[in-house]
Every structure is written in C-alpha cells, then in structure tokens.
C-alpha cells in the first residue's frame, strides 16, 4: 500500500519521476474513482497477502496521502515548470477530481461536513476496540461501538487537504475549480471544525463510546481466548483518547496560525506524561487507558504507544510551518520544532548504528527499534527531516 505509506517521499528529487509514479497510481483508479489499497501483482505477491485482504471493498477508502506530494510539487513550481508540465498536470487534475468526488460521496457522515471511515466491525466480541484498518491507523482506539452516525476528525482533515490541493491545481491548469475552492474553505473553517470535533482541550472523534471496556479470558476445552467485556454503558460523546488523531488539524496545517486551539495543542504537546518522549511523539498517550493494550488475545499494540516516523514527520513539518507564520504561537512552535526534530533524528540514527537497521516503529519508553526491519518505507522520511525538506 505505497499510496498510504510512502507518498510523502514523492515530490522530492526529479519531478518527472514523481509525476510518473503518481500517474501509475492514478491509472489504477476504476471508473467510479476508487483506488484499491492492496496492489497484489502476480502469484508470488498473492502468496504473501493474508486472505482477508485479497478481496477488497470498493466502498472502503484509505487516506488520500497522494495529495501531500502533489501539494509540495505545486508549491515549489516556477512558471516555466508549469508550462513544461501543463499537459500532465491537466490529466492529473481530472483523475484527482474523480478521486475526490468518490471520497466526498462514499465517506460522508450522517451530519453535514462530517466524514466516517468505513469497514469497522460492529458485531465483534473479541476486540477491545474494533479496528479501523481503512484509516491506516489500524488499532488506534475509536468509538468502542461503531455506528453509522460516528464521525472521524482525521478523515475530515484529509479531505480538507485534498480539496485545498485540488483548488491550487485547478488554478494552475486554468480549469474551473470554484467547487474545490469552496469545499476547501468549508472544511478548513476553524470555527466549524471546532464545533464538530473540539472537546475544549483537544480534537477528537465522535461516536458511541464506553469508557470502561476490557478483555477477559474464556476457555473452550484446551483452547484459550479472550472476549470483550463492557463494564459501563456506552454513550454518544467525543472519544476521550489521547493520541495521534487529536493532532490532525495541526499536522495537516488546517488550523490558522492565531487559532486558540493551536495554542492549546502546542502547549500540551510537550507533556511527558502524554505523547511526548525523548525519542519522538508516541501514538497514544502514556497516561491513556489504551496505552500498550492488546486489542485481542493475540493482537499486540500497534498504534497504541509505539513511535511512528510518518506521523512524527507530519508533526515536525507542521511545526516548521507554524514557526514561520506570524502569530501568538510562533515562538512556541519554533522551540518545539527544534526539540522534536532533534529527538527523532538522534533516536533513528542511534538505533541504526546499534542494530544496522531502520525500523518500522520505535519503542516509546526505550526508543528501541521494533516490528518490521529493515524498513525503509515511511521511516526513511527521517532523511527529509534531516534536510528540512517539508
């Protein structure tokens, strides 16, 4: 799933190669605008893919991260570049418009201007918190009881980014882009965003959620498993989980430089009992109930504590953005940028010299590399952090 993990690299280096890579992905789109998450090319690849991921649902979306490099490219193009690549950009615009329209019809929430990831299991009795594989943050805790009226702050921010990029691209190629400009303005409206997702202290998902669930052991003869126990009735509320999801309006630069919410996020970011560690930002806060919790009897915590370089890259990138923007939070963004950038670079380098590998993720408490290795997918974003190429 390169489109959801490595697209942050594209847009750096040879622009023609970047366009070629993006074009290959866009050529995988079906007539409705859907791009499959898993690209299983040939029998050898098929043998390595778990059976449940082979057949894919054309109503399920994944993060449209392709808009990150597209926005980078557009922001760095000179007039001569636009003239040279105009035919390619125009073709991209039509494909990307179809892609966005597919998102904006299949992933909408029941409440206006809200969005909901599809594919959550609302009948499972084995998961502590039903996974949201489509979001890319597989076991990150969402509402404990999936319902059609829940809505997700990260998906809304992804669509704001997509509309913003399409508005810019439409302007560049000279195509009617008013609808994308209006959508970008609507989804970037900080007041409306806060009305839907702001708890008073952080941005959050909304849904049917119990604050007291657990796993208990069950036996079937010699077989031991675990099932979920709901100890407190769920209610519709903001999901009170501290972690990466809270940061999306910040890390995708949706917040205005003078937004009060930005000040709250930056002031709390350095809290060492929450996401901050001396190795980078942890995926779930150390004082959160879901920190390092197994999701089933066998599913180890994945997005529940470990440090991920892709999200840390976006956070460092956002801090770089806000430290250059005049406003009341500029100085704080600058100091956090310096400290977080140094922490991530030093830890990845230290682990590389210790083990000889770049790792998929890093331990929040020790900084040690863990899970898949060697891993030069999103973790190699550290090279862009080192070069300050955002």
The tokens for 37 are: 């998450």
Whose CA is closest to 215, among 295, 328, 285?
295
Does the active-site annotation cover 360? yes
* Of 127, 261, 288, 360, catalytic: 360
* Of 81, 84, 138, 258, catalytic: 138
In Å, how far are 58, 59, 150, 274 from 118, measured between CA atoms?
A: 10, 7, 10, 29
Rounded to the nearest 10 degrees, the angle between the axes of helix 153-173 and helix 67-76 is 40
Question: Can you spell out the DSSP letters for 71-118?
Answer: HHHHHH--HHHHHHHHHHHHHHHHHHHHHHHHHHHHSB-SSTT-B---
The span from the CA of 245 to the CA of 248, in Å, is 6
The tokens for 234 are: 């769920």
E strand segments, 143-222: 206-209, 213-220
The tokens for 385 are: 């952090």
List the catalytic residues. Answer: 138, 360
């Amino acid at each position: 799933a390169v489109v959801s993990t490595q697209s942050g690299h594209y847009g750096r280096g040879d622009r023609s190669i970047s366009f070629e890579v993006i074009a290959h992905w866009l050529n995988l789109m079906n007539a409705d605008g859907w791009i499959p998450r898993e690209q299983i090319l040939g029998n050898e690849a098929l043998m390595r893919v778990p059976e449940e991921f082979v057949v894919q649902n054309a109503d399920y979306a994944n993060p449209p991260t392709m808009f990150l490099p597209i926005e980078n490219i557009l922001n760095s193009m000179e007039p001569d570049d636009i003239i040279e690549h105009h035919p390619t950009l125009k073709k991209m615009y039509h494909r990307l418009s179809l892609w966005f329209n597919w998102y904006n019809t299949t992933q909408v929430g029941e409440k206006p201007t809200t969005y909901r990831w599809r594919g959550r299991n609302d009948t499972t009795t084995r998961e502590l918190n039903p996974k949201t594989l489509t979001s890319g943050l597989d076991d990150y805790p969402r509402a404990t009881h999936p319902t059609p009226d829940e809505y997700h702050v990260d998906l809304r921010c992804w669509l704001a980014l997509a509309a913003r990029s399409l508005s810019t691209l439409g302007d560049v190629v000279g195509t009617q882009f008013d609808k994308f400009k209006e959508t970008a303005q609507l989804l970037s409206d900080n007041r409306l965003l806060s009305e839907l997702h702001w708890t008073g202290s952080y941005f959050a998902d909304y849904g049917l959620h119990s604050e007291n669930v657990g796993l208990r052991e069950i036996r079937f003869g010699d077989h031991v498993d675990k099932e979920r126990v709901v100890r407190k009735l769920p209610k519709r509320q903001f999901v009170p989980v501290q972690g990466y999801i809270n940061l999306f309006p910040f890390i995708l630069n949706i917040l205005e430089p003078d937004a009060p919410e930005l000040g709250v996020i930056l002031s709390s970011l350095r809290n060492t009992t929450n996401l901050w560690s001396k190795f980078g930002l942890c995926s779930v806060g150390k004082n959160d109930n879901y920190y390092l919790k197994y999701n089933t009897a066998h599913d180890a915590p994945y997005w529940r504590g470990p440090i991920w370089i892709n999200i840390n890259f976006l956070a460092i990138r956002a801090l770089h953005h806000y430290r250059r923007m005049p406003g009341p939070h500029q100085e704080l963004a600058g100091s956090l940028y310096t400290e977080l950038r140094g922490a991530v670079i030093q830890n990845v380098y230290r682990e590389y010299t210790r083990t000889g590998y770049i790792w998929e993720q890093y331990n929040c408490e020790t900084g040690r590399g863990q899970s898949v290795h060697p891993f030069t997918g999103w973790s190699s974003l550290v090279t862009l952090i080192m070069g300050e190429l955002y």
